[in-house]
Amino acid sequence: MSALVAAIRELLGLFIDDGAFAIAILMVVGVAVLVARLSSGAHLLAGAILIAGCLAVLAISVARAARS
């Protein structure tokens, strides 16, 4: 049974390796959704926020990993 639990943890670790990274991406997606819902014509702005925010979170995560 412990081998099954270890395998499941390894599988989940492939998708959620860094908890702060996952939370930051979810926050960026949330902000983009809020912008898209609150502004009637701001779909391009929401897309720009989504792309720029995800790239910024990725760059910060890579820089932090390179330091350690």
pLDDT of residue 53: 97
Amino acid at 58: L
pLDDT tops 90 at residue 7? no
Q: 21 lies in a domain?
A: yes
Structural domain including 59 reads 17-67
**pLDDT tens across 45-67, in order?**
999 999 999 999 999 988 988 88
Backbone torsions φ then ψ of 39, nearest 5 degrees: -110, 130
How far apart are the C-alpha atoms of 55 and 57, rounded to whole Å? 5
Per-residue pLDDT, 22: 84
- Total Cβ atoms within 10 A of residue 48: 13
Q: What is the pTM (predicted TM-score) of this model?
A: 0.74
* pLDDT band at residue 28 under the 50/70/90 scheme: very high
The total number of structural domains in the chain stands at: 1
Instruction: Note whether residue 1 is domain-resident.
Output: no
